[in-house]
Amino acid sequence: MSTNTVAAQHAPADRHAVKASLSILIGASVWGIAWFPYRVLAGWGLGGMHAAALVSSVAAILSLLVVGLRPHWLFVAIGLAAGVTNAGFVWGSVNGHVMRVLLLFYLTPVWTALFARLFLGERLSAAGLSLVALALFGAGLMLWTPEVGVPLPGSAAEWSGLVGGMGFAVNNVLSRRAGQRFPDTDARVRTVVVYLGCTVVGVPAALLLDGPSVTIVPGAHVSVGMLVLGLAAVLVVSNSVVQYGLQRLPANRVSLLMLFEIVIAAVSSWWLATEVLSWKEAAGGLCIIAAGALSGLVHRSRPSAPAPAHAEAAACN
């Protein structure tokens, strides 16, 4: 591969770095507050996994109607990874110690570094490694408490959170690879794939883990339908926005930016559920924000290698 080819692959990320980073932060913000409508649906009797499966199904239908689908093994893998992510996160956070599950889920940057090296050949520099450490330190500072001890899986719910985080890392890495391999493909196609995968994994997971029966609170059926449809529409739009960033940013940087979801979740839980935002959570959130901001400076400051005189000849080989 020639130097010109390599430069061409990284040029879109350089030109659109700000907009791409903003798209990831928007998606992280939506997911950081998505817990609230899921909690409302659970309170109306739908249940966590059933709500996740139903919302994913509606989102898949909406995105199919708008975008369509292009079959390829990469998109199948992205969809399955997204389904594992969704099911692992929802089931783990509903049935386990939320803070411990979240901490295990947000080990994502570690898995992303490994999978990006395996599937994309991305090398994590010393500066990038330091930013991963800073982000993980911030997540640990926000989520760790003395009562839960060392963040190692101790239950099925905690393993669910860990596996969900691994699925999230695979989804990010493969989305980046799909963007490189099919640069002319509408990024929204991966939105269709994501929600089809969430449906394929979520429906059997709901039947297996929550059971087949659902009892909706009397008089709430219309409200449940409207909330499911509204949430599905919001998630489709936000995921389409996120795909713009996934196609243009290195997977390691995306994993850092997505940690902003923890900040939004902490603030929204304090605002909507009157949960106290402690000094540790605030300090950890600042670490995460700093890691995301510094990752942009590190990415932008990398010098472009000069093109050798024989680059055009090398590109033909």
Taking only Cα atoms into account, the Rg of the chain, rounded to an integer number of angstroms, comes to 20
Cα separation, 168 vs 170, whole angstroms: 5
Asked if pLDDT for residue 296 goes beyond 60, the answer is no
The pLDDT tens digits for 244-278 are 887 788 877 787 788 788 778 778 777 877 766 67
State percent of the chain over pLDDT 70. Answer: 79
* pLDDT, position 85: 92
Q: What is the mean pLDDT of residues 154-158?
A: 79
Residue-wise DSSP of the chain: --HHHHHHHHHHHHHTHHHHHHHHHHHHHHHHHTHHHHHHHHHTT--HHHHHHHHHHHHHHHHHHHT-----HHHHHHHHHHHHHHHHHHHHHHHS-HHHHHHHHTTHHHHHHHHHHHHT-----HHHHHHHHHHHHHHHHHH--TTT-S-S--SHHHHHHHHHHHHHHHHHHHHHHHHHH-TTS-TTHHHHHHHHHHHHHHHHHHHHHT-S---PPTT-HHHHHHHHHHHHHHHHHHHHHHHHHHHHS-HHHHHHHHTHHHHHHHHHHHHHS-----HHHHHHHHHHHHHHHHHHHHHHTPPPPPPPTTHHHHHT-
Mean pLDDT across the chain, nearest whole number?
A: 77
Confidence of residue 152 (pLDDT cuts 50, 70, 90): low
State percent of the chain over pLDDT 90. Answer: 14
Q: What is the mean pLDDT of residues 30-41?
A: 84
Asked if pLDDT for residue 202 goes beyond 60, the answer is yes
Domain ranges of the chain: 11-303
Residue 113 to residues 48, 82, 124, 128, 255: CA-CA distances in angstroms? Answer: 31, 18, 7, 10, 9
More confident residue, 303 or 298: 298
More confident residue, 127 or 62: 62
Greatest mean pLDDT range, 104-108, 147-151, 211-215: 211-215
